[in-house]
Amino acid sequence: MPSTSIGNNREVMSSQTSTDPLLILSSALQTAFEAVAGRTGVDPVIRSSDRADAQANGALGLAKELGQNPRQVAEAVLAECAGLAGICSSVEVAGPGFLNLVFSNDFLSRLLNEVASDPRVGIGTVPSKRVVIDYSAPNVAKEMHVGHLRTTVIGDSLVRMLSFVGHEVIRENHIGDWGTPFGMLIEHLLDLGETQAADHLSLGDLDGFYKQARTKFDADETFQDRARSRVVLLQSGDAETRRLWNLLVNLSTHHFNAVYKLLGVLLTDDDLMGESAYNDLLPQVVNRLDKLGLLQQSAGADVVFPPGYTNREGEPLPLIVQKGQGGFNYATSDLACVIDRVERLQADLLLYVVGSPQAQHLAMVFDVARMAGWLVEPNEAVHVAFGNVLGSDRKIMKSRSGDPLKFIDLIEEAVSRADAAIAAKNPDLSETERHEIARMVGIGSVKYADLSTDRVRDYVFDWERMLSFDGNTAPYLQYAHARICSIFRRADISRVSVRDVVPTLVEPQERELALALLAFNAAVVDTIDKYSPHRLCTYLYDLATTFTAFYEHCPVLKDGYESTRQSRLALCDLTARVLNQGLALLGIETPEQM
């Protein structure tokens, strides 16, 4: 099975000192399986299990290869299991040939202690790749709206995770700052007068400006002519036109930055790489395709026919790289991006966090780039596709006015709803504290709601559900974290003081919590492997519910035995750190009280 280049790093991880018990077990058990099979490269097929800590399913597959009964194979593997001393306290054959495995408590305690002493709480690093990630991409002279939410939030989370495991990540915000609409926008700017237009725009009413220009364009033919000739001036580099264009771009990026800052994503002006940046490369794209013999004429346009695509009539579908009238389009620009990212930036991997409707377009662009030899293994491009945000009517979310919901309004509503909920539940907080916590909870809720469902699916935007303190939500996870902080506050014990404690695992809830904590690295690896942040969310939610069960059954401060208290405090501290780190990888902050 082909795996994307970044994620498949389990082998690398296992060669380091891993703290993942399943990984250690797998590697130990592989030796036993290989002895029985008489060959190398046997996968023990380790899975977590509801009947033990883990189960090995490898015997069932191996039985066929050896022509033996699966149970016999499992028995034979069991006989070779001397290497599991120090890892498992129990190994038994069950059912048709499963091996049920129980970790020894000492083994788990030792691993927990190792993780607790690691500032990265068990997350390993991998050989570094240079990754360009294309996300957010709002349009100049248009307000950011709910349609930009997913690409911005998912992209930001992937950036954080990829960087954390050691990749060199280059963020690219491919803003829409070029093309025919700019003739119209610049002419409208001139009509209003620069000063007045700037006031208008700096008030944040970007959409109003755009709509006025559009209305005028649709109604007034002389304005259309002015707009068209202004585009020509812009593209030919006319200084005055460029100055006016710059004005529009600067006013817009000012707005973008305000949104990014409020939302807490990493994008800055340094990451801007708009369409205009590739303008000079566009003729070269066509020339290079021509020299390679890939270019064809079709209905007056210059096109490339990547195999495997057909149109409505069943005829080959072209990728148009130069229009009939000579202009370039977004395919040209996207090909220029590939060239720039591979040849100038020397990227190993190109990620495109772009909505699913663009799947065919991007597939064609990538195919043409491969045909042209610009995208060559092991370099690769991946479309990190995502579905729509839907309203309660299951249609694409709109505001009351019918326009897409503005990003700013969305964030403000989230924060004010969170503020009200916190005020009701914790009236003792000062107003300043409450506002700060509301910001973390409100924005965290929106981000988490977006990240916690499989990105390929559409999801229904629901304020009540995302801000609920129950279920798979940001507030639930943040609350679990805050409650742990509260334990340490109440006991007046420093978090750091318990980090060298080796926890003792006695109660089943302590073991469950230990197993959950030690699965953090695997969750992150899996998330990166599939570019699917919801996998990390699922893990964190499971950790939080496991912690809650522990908290319910295992009194931390009231136990009466100092050693138990120390051990449980160590488990608490580590849980809080994993929650904090995990949410941080999603771009979500964790307050110490709520």
Partner RNA sequence: GCCCACGUAGCUCAGUGGAUAGAGCGUCUGCCUCCGGAGCAGAAGGUCGUAGGUCCGAUUCCUACCGUGGGCGCCA
Which residues, 314 to 333, sit near RNA by CB under 7 A? Answer: 314-315, 317-318, 320, 323-325, 327, 329-330, 333
Length of the chain equals 594
Question: How does strand 319-322 pair with strand 301-304?
Answer: antiparallel
Query: Least distance from C-beta 102 to RNA, angstroms?
Result: 11
515, 549 contact by CB (below 8 A)? no
Q: Which residue has the tokens 């939080």?
A: 544
Q: Report the distance separating Cα 514 and Cα 492, nearest Å.
A: 24
Q: Rank residues 211 and 394 by Cβ distance to RNA and give the closer one.
A: 394
Query: Least distance from C-beta 26 to RNA, angstroms?
Result: 14
Burial class, 214, CB count within 10 angstroms (exposed 0-12 / middle 13-18 / buried 19+): middle
Q: Rank residues 116 and 556 by Cβ distance to RNA and give the closer one.
A: 556
Name the amino acid, one letter, at 292: L
- Print the binding letters for residues 143-182 with RNA: x by CB under 7 A, - otherwise: ---------------------------------x--xx--
Q: Rank residues 193 and 300 by Cβ distance to RNA and give the closer one.
A: 300
Q: Rank residues 35 and 301 by Cβ distance to RNA and give the closer one.
A: 301
Span of 228-236, 243-251, 341-349, 457-465 interacting with RNA by CB under 7 A: 457-465
Query: Least distance from C-beta 56 to RNA, angstroms?
Result: 8
Q: Which of 299, 377, 401, 561 binds RNA (CB under 7 A)?
A: 299
Residues 57-96 that bind RNA (CB under 7 A): 57, 60-61, 64, 94-96
Residue among 402, 369, 209 nearest 294 (CA): 369
Q: Rank residues 199 and 315 by Cβ distance to RNA and give the closer one.
A: 315
Burial class, 124, CB count within 10 angstroms (exposed 0-12 / middle 13-18 / buried 19+): buried
Span of 143-151, 259-267, 471-479, 513-521 interacting with RNA by CB under 7 A: 471-479
Query: Least distance from C-beta 97 to RNA, angstroms?
Result: 8
Measured distance between the N- and C-terminal CA atoms of the chain, rounded to whole angstroms: 46
Strand partners, 131: 169, 349
Q: Which of 40, 195, 236, 311 binds RNA (CB under 7 A)?
A: 311
Q: Report the distance separating Cα 102 and Cα 82, nearest Å.
A: 15
Residues 90-119 that bind RNA (CB under 7 A): 94-96, 98, 100
Angle CA 45–50–52, to nearest 5: 70
Does 436 interact with RNA (rule: CB under 7 A)? no
Q: Which residue has the tokens 């009701």?
A: 424
Q: Which of 203, 409, 555, 563 binds RNA (CB under 7 A)?
A: 555
Q: Which of 377, 558, 560, 561 binds RNA (CB under 7 A)?
A: 558
Please name the residue ranges forming H helices in 340-379: 359-371
Q: Which of 185, 554, 571, 574 binds RNA (CB under 7 A)?
A: 554
Q: Which residue has the tokens 């060239």?
A: 339
Q: Which of 105, 250, 358, 399 binds RNA (CB under 7 A)?
A: 358
25, 88 contact by CB (below 8 A)? yes
Query: Least distance from C-beta 45 to RNA, angstroms?
Result: 6
Sequence-ordered strand ranges (E) for 292-423: 296-298, 301-304, 319-322, 349-355, 380-386, 389-390
Does 258 interact with RNA (rule: CB under 7 A)? no
Please name the residue ranges forming H helices in 193-281: 194-202, 206-219, 221-235, 239-263
- Print the binding letters for residues 510-549 with RNA: x by CB under 7 A, - otherwise: ----------------------x-xx--x--x---x--xx
Please name the residue ranges forming H helices in 38-140: 58-66, 70-79, 105-116
Q: Which of 69, 243, 457, 506 binds RNA (CB under 7 A)?
A: 457
Q: Report the distance separating Cα 71 and Cα 89, nearest Å.
A: 21
Q: Which of 482, 498, 524, 578 binds RNA (CB under 7 A)?
A: 482
207, 251 contact by CB (below 8 A)? no
Query: Least distance from C-beta 196 to RNA, angstroms?
Result: 28
Does 444 interact with RNA (rule: CB under 7 A)? no
Q: Which of 18, 55, 151, 566 binds RNA (CB under 7 A)?
A: 55
Query: Least distance from C-beta 206 to RNA, angstroms?
Result: 16
Query: Least distance from C-beta 346 to RNA, angstroms?
Result: 25
Query: Least distance from C-beta 356 to RNA, angstroms?
Result: 6
Return the half-sphere exposure (C-beta side, CA atoms, 13 A cut-off) of residue 390.
11
Phi/psi for 543 (5° steps) reads -60, -45
Does 295 interact with RNA (rule: CB under 7 A)? no
Q: Report the distance separating Cα 300 and Cα 286, nearest Å.
A: 15
Residues 369-408 that bind RNA (CB under 7 A): 387-388, 390, 394
